[in-house]
Amino acid sequence: MKKYLQPCYLLLVALGVNSTPSVAENDHYCRAPATTKDHAAPMNYPDQFAWQLFLEVNQKAKKEYATLNGKKVELNNAIWETWIDDSDNFPQNPNPATPPAWPTKTDGHNLAYISFSHQTYSEDKTRSEPDCRPDDLKNGGTCEVVYRNKATFEYIKNNNLWYQEGIADYVKTGKEIVFPIDSIEVKGNWKLIKENEKRDYHWNYTTDGHLIGLVAMHISSKVIPNWLWATFEHVDNPGRCDLLGCYDCYGVTNPVTQPNAKTFGSVYPEEPLSPALTKQYDKNGFKGNWLKEWKNYRLKGSMINFTDSYGNASLLGNSVTESGFVATSSCMGCHSRAAVTSAGQKAFPFFGELPSTAAIGNVPAQYGLQFLTVNGAPNPADFYHRAGNLNNNNPYGTLQFLQTDFVWAIPMRAKSIKQNNQ
């Protein structure tokens, strides 16, 4: 295993990262099949569990039509595309008398955020948040949208975590935010595609009728206390396994695709799918065009811990969704900073806490600047006031910021009922 880690380690040193996080070894260690009853399957076989989730949420949904931009189209929904999205879950002008409702029909994707593959966002001072604009999809740009299942949605709704004052009331109760174990969230990134590319992508439409293809898909599941994190990529994504490599102990015949250390942004060879996964596609009823579409996706990796048992930060990032900060990306490290103040507002910026650093060598512009992001185990001092804690009986100090159980949408998306948020 060590030999795979070396190029990545060297690169991070070259990037000027002070500590030396590496792709955690234990997370990517393929265990022999269980010979006795496995009571902790998602922990022991996270990649297999990630594929199980993938097959579950990507079941074909019932046929739906929509009129988008005056044109009647047949949607191509998977189950998760019928769940509630962030824009419905976190209304712009929340009114506690009319809480968000579970959707009864779908009408195309309301793409909310640009992916960081467009570095221009940070330079455009007029944009406080990287919202998706029609122009962002031109010239191969990608935009994203988040969906959550009913268990996750109901927890947010029933605890009034969908607006800032509701969150502030929750903080006062002194309880932790803990989502139910059947919670699942999905973030999808999309690009414009042409009609003849439908066979190569999971495709669908935007709310204004543009044909789009799925390039990246994050899935997180509360099956374990700090969630299980997995990210999938379209096999043709340029630079798919750059910097960190791709690791899949279940879905492909060779578990490790090493990062290409010489050329950034090239398309990696298509790894053959494993007989085990091929069988699961069949068992789960994938056939015809539906099967063809989904067979173009590969697991980049899954994550179940902040660090490996040595304390090395575990890293995982998607070449599209985390573009620009893949080198230090940690799903759990960043999401642990989803936290709120006593006023129900965001405690940490989701981005920009650490500097960016130039990658050395012959690197194309879009990879030239890597933003450093928080990884490894969380630092309790960021969440607690430690002062004076020797004088009281609380060994941790006083809690200052309440974590939102890794769900970034709560601090980032919830608006206040008091102001006009237009």
Closest among 42, 340, 297, 77 to 205, alpha carbons compared: 77
Binding span for ligand HEC by CB under 6 A among 42-50, 118-126, 156-164, 328-336: 328-336
Tell me the per-residue interface mask from 211 to 240 with ligand HEC, x by CB under 6 A, - otherwise: -------x-x--------x-x---------
Structure tokens at 151: 């268990």
Q: Are 42 and 224 in contact (CB under 8 A)?
A: yes
3-state secondary structure 268-332: CCCCCECHHHHHHHHHCCCCHHHHHHHCCEEEEEEECCCECCCCCECCCCCCCCCCCCHHHCCHH
- CA-based radius of gyration for the chain: 21
Binding span for ligand HEC by CB under 6 A among 2-10, 170-178, 274-282, 325-333: 325-333
Q: What is the closest distance, in whole angstroms, from the C-beta atom of residue 80 to ligand HEC in the complex?
A: 10
Nearer to ligand HEC, 4 or 121 (CB): 121
Binding residue (CB under 6 A) for ligand HEC from 164, 248, 408, 414: 408
Q: Where in 107-126 is the site for ligand HEC (CB under 6 A)?
A: 113
Residue 367 to residue 255: CA distance in whole angstroms: 25
* Residue owning tokens 């179940």: 304
Secondary element (H or E) of residue 367: helix 365-368
Binding residue (CB under 6 A) for ligand HEC from 132, 244, 316, 347: 316
Residue 84 binding ligand HEC, by CB under 6 A: no
Residue 179 to residue 85: CA distance in whole angstroms: 17
Nearer to ligand HEC, 191 or 218 (CB): 218
Residue 322 binding ligand HEC, by CB under 6 A: yes
Helices (H), 150-286: 150-158, 164-173, 275-283
Q: What is the closest distance, in whole angstroms, from the C-beta atom of residue 109 to ligand HEC in the complex?
A: 13
Structure tokens at 102: 């579970």
Residue 67 DSSP SS3: strand
Binding residue (CB under 6 A) for ligand HEC from 85, 185, 293, 405: 185
Q: What is the closest distance, in whole angstroms, from the C-beta atom of residue 392 to ligand HEC in the complex?
A: 33
Binding span for ligand HEC by CB under 6 A among 101-109, 245-253, 264-272, 311-319: 311-319
Residue 190 binding ligand HEC, by CB under 6 A: no
Closest among 315, 248, 397, 215 to 15, alpha carbons compared: 315
Residue 409 binding ligand HEC, by CB under 6 A: yes
Q: Are 39 and 268 in contact (CB under 8 A)?
A: no
Binding residue (CB under 6 A) for ligand HEC from 9, 121, 290, 350: 350
**Alpha carbons within 13 A on the beta-carbon side of 261:** 11
Q: What is the closest distance, in whole angstroms, from the C-beta atom of residue 140 to ligand HEC in the complex?
A: 19
Binding residue (CB under 6 A) for ligand HEC from 76, 164, 373, 403: 373
Q: Which residues bind ligand HEC (CB under 6 A)?
A: 113, 144, 146, 185, 187, 218, 220, 229, 231, 316-318, 322, 325, 329-331, 334-335, 350-351, 373, 407-409, 412
